[in-house]
Amino acid sequence: MIHPMRPVIVAGNWKMHTTPAEAGDLARTIGARTRVDGVTRVLCPPFVCLAAVGAAVSGPEVAAPDGTGIAVGAQDVHHELAGAYTGSTSAAMLAGLATWTIVGHSERRRDDCETDEQIGRKLLAARSAGLRVILCVGEQLADRDAGRAVSVVDRQVRGCLAAADPGALGADADGPRLTIAYEPVWAIGTGRNARGADAAEMAGAIRAALASLGFANAGEDIPILYGGSVSSANIDEFMTEPSIDGALVGGASLKPDEMAGIVARAGLTAQGRAAGLASRRKRRP
Catalytic center residues: 105, 183
- How far are the Cα atoms of 85, 158, 228 from residue 62, in angstroms, in the given order? 36, 37, 26
Spatial distance between the Cα atoms of 121 and 86, rounded to a whole number of angstroms: 18
Sequence-distant (6+) residues with CB within 8 A of 261 are 232, 235
**185 with 138: CB under 8 angstroms?**
yes
Own/partner pairs, 78-86, CB within 8 angstroms, 24+ separation? 78/122, 78/125, 79/118, 79/121, 79/122, 79/124, 79/125, 80/121, 80/125, 81/125, 81/128
* E-only strand ranges, the chain: 8-13, 39-44, 70-74, 100-103, 132-137, 178-182, 224-226, 246-249
Spatial distance between the Cα atoms of 211 and 193, rounded to a whole number of angstroms: 29
- How far are the Cα atoms of 101, 189, 209, 234 from residue 228, in angstroms, in the given order? 18, 8, 21, 10
> What is the DSSP code string of 86-106?
TT---HHHHBTTBSEEEES-H
